[in-house]
Amino acid sequence: MSITRVDEVFNERLINLNMNAVNKKEAIEELTKNLYKEGHISDSKIFIDDVYLRENEGQTGLGNHIAIPHGKSDTVKITSIAFGRTKNDLIWECPDDKPVHVVILFAVRNVDKTTVHLKLLSQIAMALADDDILNRLLKTNDKAEIISLLSQEIS
């Protein structure tokens, strides 16, 4: 997989290590703003509505202070992810009832011309199965390390 492709779905401009959000709604809005600024979505309001559609289908908190909301939406121009972290305790539906500090927002196009980006997203998700990676994501202040941790499963 070429580096350019990884950079299309995930890069340092889409990482915010100091989110101001104090709740789930604000965290989703803050990350959506970032995706909009980078030109990855065309309409923030419609996108957020689509994220909440998914939220209603089941919890997106993974436990261990991490949540992965996702929106599959016509407003998504580039299938990608935005990474946000906050010191604030976000209340989020999850299996262990721990407050969430890391939010990884998946933005997925309704129709993708190729499956390359979706494949990358699935490989980023697989990295989240590893507790050591989750612990580093909660601690490191190095954006390059965050990208390398999440890229671990990409072949």
78 vs 126 by CB, closer to other proteins: 126
Q: Is the dihedral of CA 54, 139, 32, 9 positive or negative?
A: negative
What minimum distance in Å lies between the beta carbon of 96 and other proteins?
7
Q: Which is nearer to other proteins, 34 or 79 (CB)?
A: 79
Nearer to other proteins, 54 or 143 (CB): 54
Q: How far is the CB of 31 from other proteins (least distance, A)?
A: 15
Residue number with CB closer to other proteins (42 or 152): 152
- How many whole angstroms from its chain centre is CA 144? 16
Spatial CB neighbours of 97, under 8 Å, sequence gap ≥ 6: none
Residue with tokens 């929106």: 71
Task: Using CB under 8 A, list all residues that contact other proteins.
Answer: 54, 57-59, 62-63, 68, 70, 72, 95-96, 106, 108, 115, 118-119, 121-123, 125-126, 128-130, 153
> How far is Cα 82 from Cα 61, in angstroms, rounded to an integer?
16
Rounded Cα gap, residues 85 and 35, in angstroms: 15
Q: How far is the CB of 107 from other proteins (least distance, A)?
A: 10
| Residue matched to tokens 């104090």 | 22
Q: How many residues make up the chain in this entry?
A: 155
How many Cβ atoms are within 10 Å of 80's Cβ, its own excluded? 24
Cβ of residue 66: shortest distance to other proteins, in angstroms? Answer: 10
